[in-house]
Chain A
Amino acid sequence: MEEDAELARRAARGDREAAGEIYDRYAPLVRAILLDATGSLAEANELVQQVFLRALGALGQLRQPEGLCGWLVGIARREGAEYRRQAARRRKRFAPLVDEPPQRACDPPPEVIDEVRRAVRQLPERERIAVHVHYLCGEPVESARGALGLSPSGFYKLLERARQRLRAKLLKTEGKR
C-alpha cells in the first residue's frame, strides 16, 4: 500500500488518482467522526464531502505530508464542531416552529447497533478516535500515529482502555435483559 506521504504529495500536485485513493482510504474514518458529531448518517455523508473538498483542496498547505491522517481527522473534528454550533443556532432560530429541539435521530439501525454507537459516542474523544481507527483503517498503527500522535504501544493502551469501558457498558447492559 502506498504511504500516506507519497499519496498526499501526488494529490497536492493535482493527481486525481491519488486524491481518489485518499478518499477511499479515509472516508469511513471521516464519516465515523462526523457521525459522532451529527448523529445522522445522511448528515455525516454530506459533511464528508465538505471535509474532503476542503482537505484535498488545501493539501499544498500540509507541511508534513506523512501527517495526512491527522490532517483529515482535524478537519473532520472542526467540521463536526461547526455542525454542532450551527445546529444549536438552528434550534434557537426554529424554536417557534417546532415542538421540540430538532435533535437529529440516528438513522434507524437495529437496536443493538444503535446501543453500540451510543456507547462509542460517549467515550472520551481520543478513545473514540482510537476505536474508529482500529475498526476502519487498513493500517491502524500508522493511522493512529498520524491521527493521535501515539506510538504503537500508546495506541494499544488507549484502545484497551476504550474496550474496557465499552465492555462494562455494553455487556453489562446486555446481561440486564
Chain B
Amino acid sequence: MNANHDELVQLDEMLARSYEPVREPVAGQREAILAALSLAQPADRARPRRAWNGPLPWLATAACLAVAAAAVALLVPSSARLVYGIEAVPKRLAEVTTIRQRGYRMIYPREEANGPPIRVPIEYLVKRPDKFRLTTYGVSYPSDALMIVNRGIIVCDGSTESWISETHKTFVTRPIGLLDAWIKTETHAQNHLAELLGPPEVPYKKIGTETIGGRECDVYEGRFGSRSAFQDAFISKLWLDPATGYPVRSTQDEVLPDGSTRRVRELEEIAVDVSLDDKLFQMSAPEDYQTTTVAALGDATALDSQYTSAGYGGDKKLEFWHALRITDNAALVVWRRSKPEEKDDGTSDWLAGVTFSLLGDDRKRPVQHDWLYQSRSPDVWNWSLVAVADGPLPDRGGVCLELKTKPLVSRMEVIPLRFPERGLERIIEAAARATLPDDGPRLKLEHLRALAGQLLRNRPNP
C-alpha cells in the first residue's frame, strides 16, 4: 500500500516537473497577441449602428440570418469558418512551396530628363528549396536628358545560376552547389516577402473588402516612409484572401510633397503553391550575347562567401554576408568592417561605431551582442550573436547593422533567414567552412542556441 502510494507521489512529482517548461511565460507573447488583435479588428466593428425602423425589418433579417446560419453550420465544418488575418503573413509565406508574383514597376525619370514614366514588367518566381527567377532593373543617366533602364534576369535551377543583362548583352553562368542554391533562394524569397509588406513598423489596417478573381478579399492598408530625409512616404495596399491567409495582390504608391500619390509598383498576381515548371528556372544565352562561364565554388556544400550588401566611404567599409535566425529571439550575423582607429595603447575596438538594433517601433528594444568569432581583420568575416531580450525578433523585417565612422556612415537592414531545423544545422556548418578561417571555431546550432540563452541570461540590467 505504502509502496503504491509512494509510487503515485513520485509519478505526480515527475509529471508536475515535466510541465514546468510549458508553464514558463513567453516574454512578449501576450502583448504581441493583444497588439495584433487590435490591428486586426474588423473595420465594421467601429461602424455606428443604423437606427432601427421598427421591428418588422429586424425580424425578417433575423429569420433570414438564422436560416442561413443553420445552413452554414450544417454544411461547413467548424474549422472552415476560421479566417486568417494579416498578422502572420510572412510566416505563412515562409512555409509555402512555390511563389509567383507578377506585375509592373513604374520608373519615373529625373526632372531634367523630362520624359514620360516607363512601365516595366516584373516577375518573381520561387520554387523551394533551390530554384528562383527574378527580373531586376537599374537606371542610369548617361546625360541629364537621357535615362537608360537596364533590365536583367537572374535564374537558378538548383545546379546552375545564370544572369543576363539585356542592355549590355551579357550572359554569365556558373555551377552552384545545393546549399548555395538554397541560401540564395531563401535570401531572395525572404527579402521579397519583407519588401511586400514594407518595414516592420508599418501598421496595417483593414480598410474594406473587394472581390479579386472570384475571391472575397480583405483589403489592408499600411503607410510608411520618411525613415530619412531622402526617403519618401509610401502607401502600401494588400489584398488578402481570408480563407487561405495569403495575399493575392499588392500595390505601392508614393506620396509626393504636394500630397498627391503616384503608383510605384503593382503586383497584379501573387500566387502560392502553384505548379511552376522547372524550365522556368533555366536560361540559355541568346546568340549575340557575350557568354562567361564562372568556375564552380567547390563541392555541393560550398557557399559563396561574397558579401551580399556593403557600404563604402573613403578607405572605410562595412560588408554583410548573411544572417541566420537561430532561435525566436537570436540571430547569427556574419559581417566585416574596415580597421578601426587604434587606441593609445595600440589596441583597436572592432565594435567601435558599430550598433545592432531593431527598426522602427522596435528600435528601443534592447539588443545584446556577443562575439562568436572576432576576426580582427577587414578581410575576414566576423561571427556575431545578436539577441533580443524582451521577446522574439520581429516577424518581418530584420536587424539594423550600422557603422558610424569618418567618413562612412553605413546602415543596412539584415534579415535573419529562417530555415528548417536540420537544414539550418547544415547551413551553419557550411557557413563556418565558407567564412571562418581553418583554425576558427566550428560551432554547431545547439552551441549557438546555448550561447544565445547565456547571453540573454547574463544581460546587464536596464
Contact = CB atoms under 8 A, between A and B. Distances in A.
Interface in A5-23: 14, 16, 19-20, 23
A16 B37 contact: yes
B21 A109 contact: yes
Chain A interface helix/strand/loop/mixed: helix
B7 A171 contact: yes
A150 interface: no
Contacts of A132: 19
Instruction: Name the residue in B18, B422, B426 with the highest tally of chain A Cβ atoms < 10 Å from its Cβ.
Output: B18
B11 A58 contact: no
B37 A57 contact: yes
- Point out which of A49, A50, A54, A102 has the most chain B C-beta atoms below 10 A from its C-beta: A49
Contacts of A163: 8, 11
Interface stretch (B87-95, B253-261, B286-294): B87-95
B78 interface: yes
Nearest to B182: A97
Contacts of A32: 19, 22
Given A58-B82, A93-B129, A104 B34 contact: no
Contact of A14 (B19, B45, B420): B45
Most buried by A among B8, B16, B21, B446: B21
Contact of B14 (A16, A20, A61, A112): A112
Given A52-B33, A53-B36, A108 B129 contact: no
Interface string A25-37: 0011001100100
B422 A56 contact: no
A144 B85 CA distance: 30
Nearest to B422: A102
B420 A58 contact: no
A128 to B, nearest CB: 12
A116 B7 CA distance: 14
Given A166-B15, A170-B14, A74 B30 contact: no
B81 A58 contact: yes
B423 A94 contact: yes
A46 B18 contact: no
A109 B20 CA distance: 11
A56 B37 contact: yes
A101 to B, nearest CB: 7
Interface string A69-101: 000001100100000001001100110111111
9 contacts: A24-B30, A98-B420, A98-B426, A100-B422, A112-B14, A113-B17, A113-B21, A132-B19, A136-B22
Q: Ordered nearest first, which 9 A-B pairs have the shortest CB separation?
A: A102-B422, A116-B18, A98-B422, A135-B19, A113-B18, A32-B22, A102-B420, A52-B33, A31-B22
Given A20-B34, A98-B422, A116-B15, 15 more contacts: A28-B23, A41-B22, A42-B327, A48-B29, A49-B29, A50-B88, A50-B91, A54-B84, A97-B179, A102-B421, A102-B422, A107-B21, A132-B19, A166-B11, A167-B11
